[in-house]
Amino acid sequence: MVQDQAAQLISLMLAPRPGETVLDACAAPGGKAAHLAEIMQDRGMIIALDADARRIGKIRENIRRLGIAIIKTVQGDAARYAEEAFDKILIDAPCSGLGVLRRHPDGRWTKSLRTITDRRALQKQILKNCAGLLKPGGAFVYATCTTEPEENEDVIADFMHTRSREFIIEDARSYLPPAAAPLVGSDGIFRTFPHEPEMDGFFGVRIIRKN
């Protein structure tokens, strides 16, 4: 599947191992879930969760085409899903999408400040719920394809303010290729912008649950 470089680096940040149980919390259309399955050598289990039945169909279509065995599609709300515990969780959160305007220029006319506000509220709900599904010692990656602090740094700051005894931010550089190290700040958080380098605007933070 064709993905922007920034999107591919998000999957590498999660670094799932063969045999692990992984949740892709907002999975459609399945590009990152498929990449995670490849990293895991198609061994283990990935729950590809999405609230939209039509988009679930797109995930199934892609995993059939790619011949992937370990992805199980589930229709459900990532802000409420609570079926089991996971070794790794990818929260590719619904966002304003302002980091991908170069590929979706119509967003300049269809998005507003209200878009950011509404998405931020949902992001916080999803983050809070999914963090509770992570096993001790496990890791999750919170990612968006937007550059707005309200949906990125502010969401993580609010989460860590109340959960710092349980969770810690881990430097993303440990999981990325050396060439991607400049994309990680001194705070350990991954950020890209459409103007430099030439890839989508993405935000990603890797957080581990303490034992």
Instruction: From first to last of the 211 residues of the chain, give the pLDDT tens digit.
Output: 888 899 999 999 999 999 999 999 999 999 999 999 999 999 999 999 999 999 999 999 999 999 999 999 999 999 999 988 999 999 999 999 888 877 777 777 788 888 888 999 999 999 999 999 999 999 999 999 999 999 999 999 999 999 999 999 999 999 999 999 999 999 999 999 987 668 899 999 999 999 8
Q: Which domains does the chain have, with CATH numbers?
A: 5-209 (3.40.50.150)
Q: In DSSP terms, which residues pair with 191 in a beta bridge?
A: 203
- CA distances to 55, 130, 135 from 159, rounded to whole Å, are 28, 12, 17
Tokens for 132, please give them. 């509770």
Tokens for 185, please give them. 């700040």
User: What pLDDT score does 170 carry?
Assistant: 97
Active-site annotation, residues: 145
Give the three-state DSSP class for 191.
strand
User: What pLDDT score does 106 carry?
Assistant: 79
37: nearest Cα among 82, 7, 72? 72
User: What pLDDT score does 123 carry?
Assistant: 97
Q: How many CB atoms lie within 10 A of CB 107?
A: 15
User: What pLDDT score does 151 carry?
Assistant: 97
Q: Which helix (H) or strand (E) holds 23?
A: strand 21-24
8 Å CB contact between 150 and 25: no
User: What pLDDT score does 138 carry?
Assistant: 98
Taking the C-alpha atoms of residue 136 and residue 181, their distance in angstroms, rounded to an integer, is 27
Taking the C-alpha atoms of residue 184 and residue 62, their distance in angstroms, rounded to an integer, is 31
Q: In DSSP terms, which residues pair with 134 in a beta bridge?
A: 86
Torsion, Cα 49 51 57 63, to 10 degrees, reads -20
